[in-house]
Amino acid sequence: MYMLKKTAALLVCSSLMFGCNNDQNSEPNSKGGVDDVKYEQNIKSMVLVPGGSFTMGTDPEQLKDQPVRSGAEEWPPHSVILKPFYMDTTEVTNAEFKAFVDETGYVTLAERPFKKEDYPNAKPEDLVPAAFVMASPKTNVDVKSESHWSWWKLTNGANWKHPEGPGSDISDKWDHPVVNLAYEDAKAYAHWAGKRLPTEAEWEYAARGGVKDAMYPWGNELLLNGTIMANYWQGDFPNTNTNEDKFLTTAPVKSFSPNGYGLYDLAGNVWEMVADEYEKGYYSKSPIESPTGGIGQSIVNKGEGPIVRQRIIRGGSFLCSEGYCTGYRVAARQLSDDISASYHTGFRCVMDVKDSK
């Protein structure tokens, strides 16, 4: 869903203006000089995920009854071996992101205006900072025939402090996942925290929670003994949310049971950015040991703006549903890009284990 028609060009513009303009490419880790104090502090809110091997991806046969529509193939299943790593117990929260902003003065991509000189043909109203928010359709939508643009809207004034636009805030959402961020924002936070974004393989391995070859972190059935195990959309998306899980949008982190590693909300709540770029067919040639993703196809917008690359987000969100997007499956992948900020996407971080070989 991530590039919107005419507005896509503006987002691309924004990336050129503000992206790749600092030293965030140097990702710190325990081997790269993060001080010991920060390392020890980080460990307290992270889970040690043991190294090991697993089968990444899904056999298409298993997906015959699933509405796979992500645009990113999750096959063939292939073997992956990973070193141990620490992972944030939860998605990064608004409170945690605020601490970063307070200390650094960081301004996220969705808070910055677009430059007229980069998009000389844009109307002034199209240059206002914005992020993607779902606008409930006025009439019933058939997801099989209607474009997702009929319910997604680039919303002026939507950013991490105003998840659904100027009329919303986070005063009662400090323990909710931070949203409306672009890739560079997540990367900047991780750098500040002495962490890094997980690779896609690390994310999936962690999400599986030590459960072998399962569809969800808790097994192969969406409900566990009749219990909803994650924040997603119940009902006919995007028309009716029956809200059986009691969360129409984000939920406070830890609202649902953790997986086998003690990690929360990998499935559902908000999509999570990972470090990898998306390359079609990458699973067929992925190295076995610690894969880091392919080379993302460039997205070009009618000759305007910079080139951005396809990326991957993981885990699904409060907008995923059985009938449309089952992104809460552990192997499910969704295409994204460097710069799109939306109100159902956040992230969590990982950190290398000192002296791991």
Please say which residue, 10 or 178, places its beta carbon nearer to Ca ion.
Answer: 178
The nearest distance, CB 77 to Ca ion, in angstroms, is 22
The nearest distance, CB 182 to Ca ion, in angstroms, is 17
The reply on whether position 204 binds Ca ion by CB under 5 A is: no
The tokens describing 247, both together, are 């969360």
Q: How far apart are CA 58 and CA 78, in angstroms?
A: 9
Please say which residue, 269 or 336, places its beta carbon nearer to Ca ion.
Answer: 269
- Single out the residue of 118, 204, 245, 276 in contact with Ca ion (rule: CB under 5 A): 245
The tokens describing 7, both together, are 């507005």
- For residue 219, the 8-state DSSP code is B
The tokens describing 8, both together, are 């896509």
Count of residues in contact with Ca ion, rule CB under 5 A: 7
- Single out the residue of 58, 93, 180, 269 in contact with Ca ion (rule: CB under 5 A): 269
Please say which residue, 243 or 356, places its beta carbon nearer to Ca ion.
Answer: 243
Residues 65-94 that bind Ca ion (CB under 5 A): none
For residue 216, the cross-strand partners are 219
The nearest distance, CB 330 to Ca ion, in angstroms, is 11
Please say which residue, 296 or 315, places its beta carbon nearer to Ca ion.
Answer: 315
Q: How far apart are CA 230 and CA 263, in angstroms?
A: 12
Please say which residue, 108 or 231, places its beta carbon nearer to Ca ion.
Answer: 231
Q: Which of 17-25, 148-156, 269-277, 302-310 is the region at the interface with Ca ion (rule: CB under 5 A)?
A: 269-277
Please say which residue, 155 or 269, places its beta carbon nearer to Ca ion.
Answer: 269
Contact 313, 271 (CB under 8 A): yes
Please say which residue, 8 or 179, places its beta carbon nearer to Ca ion.
Answer: 179
Please say which residue, 58 or 259, places its beta carbon nearer to Ca ion.
Answer: 259
- Single out the residue of 58, 90, 93, 231 in contact with Ca ion (rule: CB under 5 A): 231
Q: How far apart are CA 70 and CA 319, in angstroms?
A: 13
The reply on whether position 318 binds Ca ion by CB under 5 A is: yes
**b/e map 80-116, b = 16+ CB within 10 Å:** bebeebbbbbbbbbbebbeebbeeeeeebbbbeebbe
In degrees, rounded to 5, the angle at the alpha carbon of residue 291 between the alpha carbons of residues 276 and 85 is 90
The nearest distance, CB 251 to Ca ion, in angstroms, is 7
Distances in Å between the Cα of 84 and the Cα atoms of 49, 50, 198, 354, 356 are 6, 5, 12, 10, 7
The reply on whether position 265 binds Ca ion by CB under 5 A is: yes
What's the chain's Rg over C-alpha atoms?
Answer: 19
The nearest distance, CB 327 to Ca ion, in angstroms, is 9
The reply on whether position 237 binds Ca ion by CB under 5 A is: no
The nearest distance, CB 241 to Ca ion, in angstroms, is 7
**b/e map 262-300, b = 16+ CB within 10 Å:** ebbbbbbbbbbbbbbbbbeebbeebeeeebebbebeebe
Q: How far apart are CA 158 and CA 180, in angstroms?
A: 7
Residue at 73: amino acid letter: E
Q: How far apart are CA 172 and CA 176, in angstroms?
A: 9
The nearest distance, CB 213 to Ca ion, in angstroms, is 21
The nearest distance, CB 29 to Ca ion, in angstroms, is 23
Per-residue x/- mask for Ca ion, residues 287 to 316, rule CB under 5 A? ----------------------------x-
Per-residue x/- mask for Ca ion, residues 121 to 160, rule CB under 5 A? ----------------------------------------
- Single out the residue of 160, 247, 282, 283 in contact with Ca ion (rule: CB under 5 A): 247
- For residue 35, the 8-state DSSP code is -
Please say which residue, 97 or 318, places its beta carbon nearer to Ca ion.
Answer: 318
Please say which residue, 76 or 323, places its beta carbon nearer to Ca ion.
Answer: 323
Q: How far apart are CA 324 and CA 134, in angstroms?
A: 15
Binding site for Ca ion (CB under 5 A): 231, 245, 247, 265, 269, 315, 318
